[in-house]
Amino acid sequence: MFKKTLASFLLFFSLALGAQQQYMALQEIVTDSAAIFNANELLELKNRLTDFESGTTNQLVVVTIERLGFETIETYANGLFNENRLGQQGKDNGLLILFAEHDREVRIEVGYGLEPYITDAVASRIIRNTMIPHFKEERYYKGISEATDQLISFLQEPEALEEFKAEIENDEKRDRRIGYGFLFLFLLLFVGFGGFFFFKSYKSLVEVLRGILIGKLGLIPGLFMILGVSLSALFGLVFMAVPLVVFISIYKEEFLPRALLFEHPEMLLLLLIPFFGIATLIAFFKIKFFGKDVFELSLIKNDKTYYRKTFSSSGTHSFGSSSSGSSSSGFSGGGGSSGGGGASGSW
């Protein structure tokens, strides 16, 4: 009984899988399975695309369906394209516009031979700027008709295509500039906040070291204060430096600090030497050349007056932070293929 059940399940699964891989055999250059065109629209579109194929051998096919089922529109379009071998063999000059009504998706699938002309960016711009605005108003024929006009124009008039590509490139440059502007402001915010926090904490570190060196702060409590202000300063430094490292690494893959951070993080400990060394030197010079205090060490004694005067007002010694038609006209693909080039859109 179990073997029969298992065999039945495997048979059903294999049949279902096989059914998913079968695509309709196209009999017309326009197949309106979703019935979104009226008779005149269907005839006009067929005639226009047939004339285009006759004059150029490029094959532009339109297919509308109601639902995609369990497939993505990219998989369905590529399977339908290659199953019907759209375009001419050896030229791979086929184009497919697939429209899925209830899924509210559309795709322009491009054959290998036309990918240098109808690039992914060109197909995406046609979908986004020409088709989608009409589809949102349920003007399906107008959106598809205007898209086919653009595709035909671009393949027949290289100047128009180059102008269109130039517009896309200019828009992309503008978008990148805007993106860089926002990214710069974001980084500036991080660097500014981190820099301010680092400066205040590092200044406190210098004062703690100076207090220890002149005997105003005991060595033992001073070490705890050094730990607290150092953590605060390092937090500000990280807050300031990490966004810069990430930003530069995006554009320079071999950026050394990123390699140190991810491959040899222990090397970063060497930065503690100049971190404390510079602070100690500053404290030393302040005592030697800019004050009247003398060098003296105390183990635990604290000068409360010095402590209040130096640290209490700023608070920087804190240890924490918060922060379809059925008729046939003899249409067939010519043996072309597609590798998945094109673009998709939804509304």
Letter string b/e over residues 317-326, b meaning 16 or more CB atoms within 10 A of that residue's CB: beeeeeebee
CATH number of the domain bearing residue 80: 3.10.310.50
**Cβ neighbour number for residue 213 with a 10 Å cutoff:** 21
**Strand arrangement of the beta sheet that strand 94-100 belongs to:** 30-32, 59-65, 94-100, 105-110, 341-346
For residue 164, tell me if it sits in a domain. Answer: no
For residue 173, tell me if it sits in a domain. Answer: no
- Same domain? For 194 and 76 the reply is no
- Same domain? For 142 and 205 the reply is no
Q: What mean pLDDT is predicted for residues 321-347?
A: 60
**Residue 322 has which token pair?**
């918060």
- Same domain? For 115 and 221 the reply is no
For residue 204, tell me if it sits in a domain. Answer: yes
Q: What mean pLDDT is predicted for residues 235-245?
A: 77
pLDDT over 90 at 211, yes or no: no
Segment 148-179, tens digit of pLDDT? 999 998 888 877 777 777 777 777 777 778 87
Domain, as residue range, for 77: 26-156
Question: Which range (97-106, 227-236, 247-256) has the least confidence?
Answer: 247-256
Tell me the C-alpha distance between 301 and 319, whole Å: 21
Question: What is the tally of structural domains in the chain?
Answer: 2
- Same domain? For 94 and 135 the reply is yes
- Same domain? For 66 and 145 the reply is yes
**Cβ neighbour number for residue 12 with a 10 Å cutoff:** 10
Q: What is the mean pLDDT of the chain?
A: 78
Segment 251-266, tens digit of pLDDT? 665 555 555 555 666 6
Place of tokens 């429209």: 99
For residue 3, tell me if it sits in a domain. Answer: no
**Residue 309 has which token pair?**
């005067």
Residue 266 or 65, more confident: 65
3-state SS class at 345 = strand
Q: What pairing do the DSSP bridges indicate for beta strands 30-32 and 59-65? A: parallel
Query: Among the residues of the chain, which ranges form H helices?
Result: 2-20, 39-56, 73-84, 120-125, 132-136, 140-156, 158-213, 219-251, 256-263, 272-290, 304-307
- Same domain? For 147 and 243 the reply is no
Question: Which range (65-79, 98-112, 220-234, 311-325) has the least confidence?
Answer: 311-325
For residue 267, tell me if it sits in a domain. Answer: yes
- Same domain? For 120 and 198 the reply is no
- Same domain? For 183 and 298 the reply is yes
- Same domain? For 139 and 186 the reply is no
Model's pTM, two decimal places?
A: 0.56
